[in-house]
Structure 1
Amino acid sequence: MKIIVIGCTHAGTQTVKNLLRLHPDADITVYERNNNVSFLSCGIALNVGGVVKNAEDLFYSSPEELEALGATMHVHHNVLSINRQAKTIVVENLETNETKQDHYDKLVYTTGSTPIVPPISGIGLKHIQLCKNYAQAQDIIKKAAHATNIAVIGAGYIGVELVEAFEAYGKHVTFIEGSDRVLNKYLDREFTDEVEQTLTNHGIQLALNEKVESFVGNDDGYVKSVQTSKATHDVDLVILCVGFRPQTELVKDELDTLSNGALLVNDYMQTSDPSIFAAGDNCSVFHNSAQHHAYIPLATNATKMGTLVAYNIMQPTIRYRGTQGTSGLKLYDLHMASTGLTEDAAATYGLDVRSTTLIDHERPTFMPTATEVRLKLVYENETMRLIGGQIMSKSDQTQLMNTLSVCIQQEMTVEDLAFSDFFFQPHYNKPVNLLNTVALKTLAERDQVHLQTQ
């Protein structure tokens, strides 16, 4: 059995390792455009901020490791085309410019995503940087050292982490976002208000509800300002963090996709061509909260999907369980996380939802310290099915969102959560766990409404 894997970041690395473990007799050949595998791009801000001293530590595998395990590795190789009927690919060696043809019995398409580059005037000026791979991380660190005014465009998780890192190094940071608040895909307004206040308190200039219209350069071709719909911001360096798109050009119009090009896969990671499997950021995922396919490029999704490819490549064996898009973030002294859908996101899927917000302490107030926690539960109005949740505190309570993620995946209701069993120990929590408490508060509010209508 000849299996070709195209692309080897998170999904590809997990696919290869598990293929070698589960199918030791298979011929596993890997083609990767870069000279490395498994780079954790989510750690770039940590590297920029000095928390991670060496960018090399953001790799958890290497071509040499996969080769030693039994894979045939071809780094610095770019796949130019795929012939599904003949089950062949054409590959270019980027070091020699030579091309060759290779054949497969099964193909694994794990090419990941690439940063969106918006079609804005001046986008090609020097010192306008993308933030995704190892080489880009090195460029950002090198150029930031000599910059005074840095603009970060795009207020998602990566953008938020980068502005903190740049501010810690004494840079003047402008945070530009086209919508009216930061982290709007992950948190509802009562949470993002606190995030924005924290950023402002640390001297970061927020430029919200500002659409970038052009970049202006100097005579040497370096960017010197960002022109938005509201203002002109002087800059020495610009970091673009406006999102990602799936890298599926090789199979465009060949396989079933979402409108943005993300591949549709079945529960066993097969594309619409049964000989081609796919996983990771080039794929859509089934969002359990929305009960709908969505594009959610996360390393957590990619690694699970890559592992499932290996289990299912010979025959359907283990079914994909879907995702809740669970994620977390530390910003200065704030710990925050979310899972499932926010209220705003639920509306875009046509879901009728309600929410309950709890402000409480993470453990009994008789303890030497007890920190306030803001916890929000989002649920379907008619069925009380759990849809999502958000949490924020100056103590780390983010693991509660992992627990809630499992509850959503198991299609639990508010009532189920209210009476779920959790331990109590004063060092860690309260006699009634915060998840129990917010669910019980929801039931109490619903009971009050029923009483008033009788």
Structure 2
Amino acid sequence: MKVIVIGCTHAGTSAVKTILKENPSVEVSVFERNDNISFLSCGIAMYVGGVVKDAAGLFYSNPEELTQMGASVKMEHNVTSIDTEAKKVVVENMTTGEVFEETYDKLVNTTGSWPIIPPIPGIKTKNVLLCKNYNQAQEVIKQNQTAKKVVIVGGGYIGIELVEAFEQSGKQVTLIDGLDRILNKYLDPEFTDVLESAIEEHGVKVALNQAVTSFNADENGSVKSVTTPKGEYEADLVILCVGFRPNNELLKGKVDMMPNGAILVDDYMRTSDKDIYAAGDSCAVHYNPNNGSAYIPLATNAVRMGTLVGKNIIEPKIKYRGTQSTSGLYLYGYNIGSTGVNVNSASHFGLEVRSVFIKDNYRPEFMPTTEEVMMKLVYEVGTNRIVGGQIMSKYDVTASANTLSLAIQNKMTIEDLAYVDFFFQPYFDRPWNYLNILAQAACDQEDQLAK
């Protein structure tokens, strides 16, 4: 069998490794437009902030490793078209200009995503940068050496991490977002209010509810300021972090997609063309909170989906379990975890929900120290099925987001979580674990509503 893999970041790398590990006789050809593979873009902020000392450590594989495993790896090769009837691709060698065709039995589309570039006047001004791949990261790191006033556009995870990283490296930082809260997709106001205050306490200017209307250049063509309807903000470096779109032009009209262009796959990572598989940021995921399809570009999804491509490339063996979009963040001393929907996003996914928010200490007060835990549970009205959760503390409670994620995947109710068996040891928790206490608060709320 001959397999062609297009694109080789998280999903592609995982697919190639798994295919060759489990099916050494399969002939695998990889075409990648960049000059590197497997770059962990989530580490860029850590590098800017000095947590990671060497950017080379943000790669977890390389073309040589895949070649040694048996793959034919063609770097800086761009697939320009796919003929799904003849089962062949047209490829351009970006170094030499040579164009050639190659046939396949199975095709794996792991072309990933690309940052959304809004049509704002001045968007091409020098030092208005994206932050996705290794080459972009290198440019961000280079400009960080001389920049003094940095504007981050976008208050999602990447933007927020960069805000702290630039502020900690001594820059004057402004955060601009068109929404009224940071981290809107992940956290509800009880959490974002605290985090916004922490950011501002560190000297960062937070400009919310403000859409950028222009990027303004100086006489040398470099950015000097960013304009919104509410003001103008000085900048000598701007990083755009406004979201991602799937990179699927090659298969447009050839396989089923969501309206935004994300490829739809079945439980075995097959597209509507059963000889074409897809994984990672190019795909929609099965979103367990509402049992539907959603576009959620995360490295964790990509790695899992790519691995399942490899497991199922010969025949369907292992089903995709779906995702809860579980994520974690460290910001100014706060450890934050979230999973599933929040109250703000639930209606977007067609869910009617209620929630409870409580604060409690993670372990008994008689211990020498303890820390407050803020937590919220979101559950479906009528079924009491858990569909989301958020947790935050100066103590590292982020692993509890994984527990809540598993509760969502397994369709547990608030009653299940309220009385599930967790261990007790005063060094670590209370006789009732704080997740038990959270779910019990939800049960109490339902009891009161029923009266």
The answer for the alignment partner of 1:301 in structure 2 is 301
Partner of 2:201: 201
Task: Give the superposition deviation at 1:352.
Answer: 1.2
| Cα distance between partner residues in 2 of 1:365 and 1:319 | 45
Q: Is 1:388 matched with 2:382?
A: no
2:380 and 2:325 map into 1 onto residues whose CA distance is 18
Q: Which residue of 1 aligns with 2:398?
A: 398
Distance 2:367 2:380 in 1: 36
Q: How far does residue 450 in structure 1 lie from its aligned partner after superposition?
A: 2.5
Distance in 1, matches of 2:350 and 2:290, equals 9
Secondary structure, counterpart of 1:179 in structure 2:
coil
Mapped to 1, the partners of 2:346 and 2:447 lie a distance apart of 24
Equivalent residue number for residue 284 of structure 1: 284
In structure 1, the partner of 2:175 is 175
Q: Superposition pairs for residues 59-98 of structure 1, below 5 Å?
A: 59-98=59-98
Q: Partners of 2:436 and 2:202 in 1: how far apart? A: 35
Distance 1:415 1:165 in 2: 41
Q: Over residues 56-84 of structure 1, what are the superposed CA-to-partner deviations in whole Å (9 max), with x where a residue is unaligned?
A: 10000000011011111101111100000
Q: C-alpha distance in 2, partners of 1:158/1:450?
A: 42
Per the alignment, residue 20 of structure 1 pairs with 20
User: Quick one: distance in 2 between partners of 1:165 and 1:441?
Assistant: 37
Give, as a single letter, the amino acid of the residue that structure 2 aligns with 1:297: P
Q: How far does the alpha carbon of each residue in 1:391-450 deviate from its partner, in whole angstroms, 9 at most, with x for none? A: 110000011110010010001111111111111111111110111111111112222232
Task: State the distance in 1 between where 2:421 and 2:397 align.
Answer: 18
Tell me the equivalent position of 1:56: 56
What RMSD, in angstroms, separates the aligned Cα atoms of the two structures?
Answer: 0.7
Q: CA deviation at 1:344?
A: 1.0
Amino acid paired to 2:63: P
Aligned counterpart, 2:324: 324
* Aligned-partner SS, 2:159: helix
The answer for the alignment partner of 2:436 in structure 1 is 436
Give 1:34's aligned amino acid: N
Checking the alignment, whether the CA contact within 8 Å between 1:286 and 1:294 is kept in structure 2 is yes
The C-alpha deviation readout for 1:29-88, integer Å capped at 9, x for no partner, is 100111111100000000111100111100000000110111111011111000000000
Match of 1:416?
Answer: 416
After TM superposition, the structure 1 = structure 2 runs for residues 44-193 of structure 1, keeping only pairs within 5 Å, are 44-193=44-193
* Identity across matched positions, percent: 57
CA distance in 1, matches of 2:324, 2:346: 13
Specify the alignment match of 1:226 in structure 2. 226
* Structure 2 portions without partners, runs of 5+: none
> Residues of 1 paired with 2:108 and 2:182: CA distance?
36
Partner of 2:314: 314
What is residue 212 of structure 2 aligned with on the other side? 212
SS of alignment partner, residue 439 of structure 2: helix
| Rounded Cα–Cα distance in structure 1 between residues aligned with 2:315 and 2:148 | 56
Which residue type is aligned with residue 331 of structure 2? L
3-state SS of paired residue (1:281): helix
TM-score (norm 2): 0.99
CA contact (8 A) 1:290 1:341 kept: no
The 4+ residue runs of structure 1 with deviation greater than 3 A are none
Which residue identity is paired with 1:279? A
Residue 334 of structure 1 deviates from its aligned partner by 0.6
Write the deviation string for residues 94-127 of structure 1: whole angstroms up to 9, x where unpaired: 1111111101000000010011111111111100
Structure 1 spans left out of the alignment, 5+ residues:
none
Q: Displacement, 1:229?
A: 1.5
Cα distance in 1 between the residues matched to 2:294 and 2:287: 6
d(CA) in 2 for partners of 1:101 and 1:447?
66
Aligned length: 451
Q: Secondary structure at the match of 2:64?
A: helix
**Residue identity matched to 1:411:** K
* Matched residue, 1:448: 448
Distance 2:59 2:346 in 1: 36
1:431 and 1:97 map into 2 onto residues whose CA distance is 67
Structure 2 counterpart of 1:332, one-letter code? Y
Give, in whole Å, the separation in 2 of the partners of 1:349 and 1:22. 37
Cα distance in 2 for partners of 1:302, 1:116 equals 19
The SS at the match of 2:213 is strand
